[in-house]
Chain A
Amino acid sequence: MSKMSNKVALISGATGGIGSATARLFAAEGARLVVTDLDQKSVNALVDELASSRADVVGAVLDVSDASSWESAVRLALDRFGRLDTLINVAGVLAWPGVEGTDQATWDRVIAVNQTGTWLGMKAALPALRASGNASIVNTSSVLGIIGGGGAAAYQASKGAVRLLSKTAAVEYATQGVRVNSIHPGVIATPMIQEILEVEGDQQRDIQRTPMKRAGTADEVAAGMLFLASDDSSFVTGAELVIDGGLTAH
């Protein structure tokens, strides 16, 4: 039995490391997919790849900071598949500056994508998700949405917001057939942090602080997405799933 058969999932940030691993895993588990990202070419390439392994998939360009862009993406899901059961918010941007080093434009961009984008996605998708009656939203936060050690002021503020936005939505929609959870990756080897990993390798500070002494993979985060999206987690809502090799346990 495939865990996502009969489910339609919309994924934002689908061409990135975690997003594409999630799209591949969901497709392998029988989901019908709407894969979205900012860049048309990357979206097309992902759609072609998934379709070549016989997945039922459609792509769309989505700027998560724009409400009308979200409305189009949700409409596409409904037009193509007639329903929407799963929203996976992955789209995010990373900026490392601290409080004084962050300029207004960087702050606004990070908040617009990571925080406002997550809210807009839920707002646009919830009518369809409520109609599904057995729906799940997974929002991508970070261990840096829980702990203060990263020094990335805007990023951590936005990821902390995603954490609480997920909980308030979980409580609000708990009796309406929509579960909402947040996922909190630690150090994951994805293009987003590739530069850091290449420069510093396994000596990178946060890998050394990770009890498992390695970076996680996008596939390992995708497996958590699958758990939270599937009926395996039918009583899990308002939870934080931390996938960090033990980083925040000590």
Chain B
Amino acid sequence: MALNHADRPGSSRDDDLAGQVVLVTGAAQGVGRAVVEAALARGALVLAQDLSDGVMNLQTAFPGSVVAEVGDAADEGVAIASVSRAVDAFGRLDVLVSNAGKTLNKPLVETSAEDWDDILRVNVRSAFLFSREAFRVMADRGSGAMVFVGSFTSTVALPEGSAYTASKGALAQLMKVVAIEGASHGIRANAVAPGVIDTGFLNPIRPDGQEYLRSFGSAHPMGRVAQPEEIADSILYLASAESSFVTGALLPVDGGYTAR
């Protein structure tokens, strides 16, 4: 499956996701939404899943190209229904972007068992369920690509981040298992490990969310935080045939944070 780009001199591959069916969890805002928009721009068809019914706006904005599914990504029934719906609507599933996630900043001793369960459930259980269901339909066709959205905390630690950091570390290891099991079925699995991203992620839990996020800029050697579109571009590299020999890889997209 060599990619002979030399056959297409001067061509760009902006259409390399043309007709590909992409399922994105946590699609209503931030990185998820940026992935949806970038995938659509490259010709993909999208199943956009989110807890928030704001995701319905995408279906309205892109009729025929986006089907929205509202529900809790960590609910087994929702994962099963979302994957089925992608196949029913578009005939197949080529790419899973497992992005749904939630953060929590609390010292260890203030973290309740309920906090722990909630973060692990949203960040890891959802990824397990969606990747399992996607694996089944991808294996039937003998091809597919999954991209998990990890974090710089997949490999390094933050204080007051016991549940979140543990969940992102778990995601990185889950990804590798999917990669190893998927290789003989034509399924690739990889993860991005973003640094801090300029999204509304923290707004519900911190009134100074945006300001707080930007204060993290100086912790990245590049001196700034990421825009969601930058993470989306890296996700789509791992989702597309451009990365056809890449599997089991954790790609830092962190402005140098983990290189220090």
- How far apart are B216's CB and chain A's nearest CB, in angstroms? 13
How many chain-A residues does the 8 Å CB contact rule pick out? 50
Query: Binary interface profile of B, 73-97, with partner A (CB < 8 Å = 1, else 0)?
Result: 0000000000000000000000000
Q: Does A206 contact B (CB under 8 A)?
A: no
Nearest first, the 6 A-B pairs at minimum CB distance are A238-B259, A249-B248, A174-B221, A211-B183, A216-B245, A220-B245
With a cutoff of 8 Å between Cβ atoms, the chain B residues found around residue A174 in the complex are 220-223, 255-256
CB-based contact B259/A232 at 8 Å: no
Query: Binary interface profile of A, 184-215, with partner B (CB < 8 Å = 1, else 0)?
Result: 00101000000000000000000000011100
- A239→B238 CA distance, assembly (Å): 14
With a cutoff of 8 Å between Cβ atoms, the chain B residues found around residue A248 in the complex are 248
CB-based contact A2/B234 at 8 Å: no
With a cutoff of 8 Å between Cβ atoms, the chain A residues found around residue B259 in the complex are 167, 170-171, 237-239
- A235→B258 CA distance, assembly (Å): 12
- A27→B227 CA distance, assembly (Å): 29
Q: Does A234 contact B (CB under 8 A)?
A: yes
Q: Does B58 contact A (CB under 8 A)?
A: no
Q: Does B179 contact A (CB under 8 A)?
A: yes
CB-based contact B180/A246 at 8 Å: yes
CB-based contact B247/A246 at 8 Å: yes
With a cutoff of 8 Å between Cβ atoms, the chain B residues found around residue A54 in the complex are 9-10
CB-based contact A241/B251 at 8 Å: yes
Q: Does B203 contact A (CB under 8 A)?
A: no
A-B contact pairs, 11 of them (CB 8 A): A25-B6, A27-B9, A28-B5, A54-B10, A167-B259, A171-B221, A219-B3, A232-B234, A236-B251, A239-B259, A250-B180
With a cutoff of 8 Å between Cβ atoms, the chain B residues found around residue A235 in the complex are 194-195, 222, 226-227, 230-231, 234, 253-255
CB-based contact B246/A243 at 8 Å: yes
**Residues of chain A whose beta carbon lies under 8 Å from any beta carbon of chain B:** 1-3, 24-25, 27-30, 53-54, 167, 170-171, 174-175, 186, 188, 211-213, 216-217, 219-224, 226-227, 231-246, 248-250
- A249→B179 CA distance, assembly (Å): 8
Given the interface pairs A24-B6, A220-B2, the reply to whether A212 lies near B255 with Cβ below 8 Å is no
With a cutoff of 8 Å between Cβ atoms, the chain A residues found around residue B117 in the complex are none
Q: Does B215 contact A (CB under 8 A)?
A: no
Q: Does B56 contact A (CB under 8 A)?
A: no
**Partner of A1 from B5, B14, B230, B237 at Cβ < 8 Å:** B14
With a cutoff of 8 Å between Cβ atoms, the chain A residues found around residue B253 in the complex are 233, 235-236, 239
CB-based contact A233/B233 at 8 Å: yes
**Partner of B242 from A223, A236, A245 at Cβ < 8 Å:** A223
